[in-house]
Amino acid sequence: MPDDRVLIDKIQKLTDELEPEIVALRRVFHQSPELSWKEFETAKRIVAILEEEGLQVQNGICGTGVVAEIQGNREGKTIAVRADMDALPMQDAKEVSYASKVPGVMHACGHDSHMAIAIGVAKILKRFEGSFAGKIRFIFQPCEEAFPSGAHELVKKGVMQGVDSILALHVDPEIEAGKIGLRKGALTANAGEFKLSIFGKSGHAARPHQAIDTIYLSNQIMTSLYDIVGNRKQSHLPAVLTLGKIAGGIKSNVIPERVDIGGTIRTVDMQTNDEIVNQIERRVRTITQAAGATYSLEFPGLIPSVNNDANLIGLVRDVGNSILGQDEIVDIANISMGGEDFSRYLDRAPGALIRLGARKPGDQVRYLHTYSFDIDERAIPIGMSIIALSVLKFLSEASPA
C-alpha cells in the first residue's frame, strides 16, 4: 500500500477522472426512480456496471438486492459499503433536466446519490485490488423506506457473513457541500410505524344519530394522540409522534364506515417507545369503546437507532482531515429523529454512517422527503474519496504488511 500522501493523491486523481461519469449516473438514477422492493431496472443497471468493471456480483437477493466484492491480494479483514436503492411515492417538482420521468415517484432521500457514489468507490478500489489484504463488499439494498426493512431481510440472507466492519453515507441537506458530518454513538432515533383502522357504522349525513361517525372519532383520536408526547413522564428525552396518513370516505354526504390512520413513533430509548405505544393503545380503546366503534391497531416494525462505532468514526475523521481539512468536519451535536435501517447491519458488525454535506452554499435547505429535494452534485466526488480512502485505511490498519 503506498504511503498516505501518495495514496490520497491517487484516489483524488481517480475521483476527478470519474466525477463526470458518476454525476451523470446519479442523474440517470434520479430520472428513473423505483419504489421499495420494485428496484428491478435499478438493480440491472448496477449489476451491468459492476460486472463490466470486473467485480464478483451476486444479484436477485430478496428480489432486487445486489452484492459485489473486490478481493485483495491476500487474506485479511472484510469491510462492507452499503448503498440504499429505493425511491419515494412523491411527485418531483423540480425544474431540472434530470427530474424524475416516473409520475408520482421520486428520489427524495438521496438514494440515487448513494448508489452512484458506491459505484464510484467500487471503480476506484478496483484499481487497488493488488495492493491490499482482505476483501471489500458492496451491498446495494432495496427498501430502506418501508417495512419490512430491506436491511433486515438482507441480513437474514447472510450479506453480513464474514464482515468485520461496514460503512455508509447519507446526504445531508442541512450541511454545506464540501463538508462531512460525524457523530460517535447514537446518530438516529428508534423509528417505528403504526397503522390504525377505525370501524363504525355508515349512514346518511342528514342523520348522523343513526351512524357511528368514524370521521368524528378520527378527529378525537388524532387530537388525543398528539397530546401523548407532551404528557410523558420522561419528558426530558426526545420523542416525536407524527400522523402522516388519513384515508376514509367516498362522498361528502355519506358518513364512512371506516377510516384508516398511519403514523410513526421516534424515540431515543426503548422505555419511551413502549410508553408511547401503551398510550396509543389505551387512548384508541377508550375513545372507540365509548362510541360503540371497534378498531384494529398494528405496530408492524421498529428500526433501532444507528450507533456509530467510535473507532471507525475516528478513522473517518482522520480521512476527512486529510482530504478536506479539519475545518470541513462538522461535529453533529444532536441525535436525528429520523430512522435509518443501517442499524440492522450493526447488529452483526461495528459500523459508521457518515453525513455527506449536500447543500449548495448560500442556497436554502432542500429538506429530505420534500418535492423539491436536490443536492449540490459537488458532494458526490467528496463522498467517493472519503469512503474509498476510509476503506483502504481500515484494511491497511487491520492487516498491516
Closest CA to 138 of 42, 71, 45, 40: 71
pLDDT 10s digits, 337-360 = 999 999 999 999 999 999 999 999
Cell 419515494 locates to: 88
For each of the domains in the chain, give its residue range(s) and CATH number, in order of start: 4-188+305-398 (3.40.630.10), 190-302 (3.30.70.360)
The pLDDT score that the predictor gives to residue 235 is 63
pLDDT greater than 70 at residue 233: no
H or E element: which one contains 369?
none
Residue partners of 36: CB distance under 8 A and separation at least 6: 86, 142, 143, 144, 145, 146, 150
Q: Are 64 and 84 in contact (CB under 8 A)?
A: no
Positive or negative torsion for Cα 140, 141, 142, 146: negative
**Confidence at residue 5, expressed as pLDDT on a 0 to 100 scale:** 86
- Single pTM value for the model: 0.92
* Residue closest to 143 by CA, chosen among 69, 61, 79: 61
**In angstroms, rounded to a whole number, what is the distance separating the alpha carbons of residues 359 and 362?**
8
Which residues lie below 8 Å from residue 336, measured CB to CB, with a gap of 6+? 187, 188, 189
pLDDT tens digit string along 45-54? 999 999 999 9
Amino acid at the residue 277? V
pLDDT in tens, 79-91: 999 999 999 999 9
Q: Give the pLDDT confidence score for residue 301 in this predicted structure.
A: 84
Per-residue pLDDT reduced to its tens digit, 271-321: 999 999 999 999 999 999 999 999 999 999 899 999 999 999 999 999 999
Considering only CA atoms, which of 217, 225, 227 is closest in space to residue 289? 217
Nearest CA to 382 out of 171, 193, 152, 128 is that of 171
Alpha helices, H only, 262-325: 270-291, 310-323
